[in-house]
Amino acid sequence: MMNEPRAKTFAQSDFFKDGASARLLPLNVVPRGQAQVHDALHTGLTNGVYVTELPMQLTPQLLARGRERFDAICAECHGRVGDGNGMVVQRGFPVPASYHLDRLRNAPIGHFFDVMTNGYGAMFSYAAQVEPQDRWAIAAYIRALQLSQDANPNDLPPEVRNKLKAESK
């Protein structure tokens, strides 16, 4: 390998018609692992502080995507309702914290994105497995899980509350 024929990058060569030994990269190409985007959408942080609002529009489609990704990637440890009692936990793996603890209910949404991106405790980083948009969708779904498990009937509009009372009789 020390003596193999090779050309220095962009040196003169008769290999290509224009006399170059290599081709320029196409426009807007970013080598794998080199894109360093430091905005809230990609880090979950603004000026080093977790973001408190979703950096994209919350839609039913986003929540559906979050649920699909959560069920496929997160539920085996965190459980389908986020209580920390997933299938691998039932098989002896460490128990993750329940999303329904006050500490996590009050955590900014950027915290969940950051944990998925960088890992936390026994959880490793999922940045290579889950795209940033899907991590935000999962974080939004975690918020929906938190609301669903701590729902207060008094927060409902009166007509919905009355309908629920009528159905329960």
Q: Where are the domains of the chain?
A: 57-148
pLDDT-derived band at 72 (thresholds 50, 70, 90) equals very high
Q: What is the DSSP letter of 120?
A: B
pTM: 0.74
If you average pLDDT over residues 71-97, what whole number do you get?
95
Residue 34 in this model has a pLDDT that exceeds 70: no
Residue 52 in this model has a pLDDT that exceeds 90: yes
**Alpha-carbon distances of 163 from 87, 113, 149, 153, 160, rounded to whole Å:** 36, 37, 20, 11, 5
Express each pLDDT in 97-120 by its tens digit. 999 999 999 999 999 999 999 999
Domain 57-148 part of CATH 3.30.2310.20: no
62 closest CA partner among 149, 112, 135? 135
Report the residue count for the chain. Answer: 169
Q: What percent of the chain has pLDDT over 70?
A: 93
Residue 134's pLDDT is 97
Within the chain, what is the greatest distance between any pair of CA atoms? 88
More confident residue, 151 or 38: 151
Residue 36's pLDDT is 64
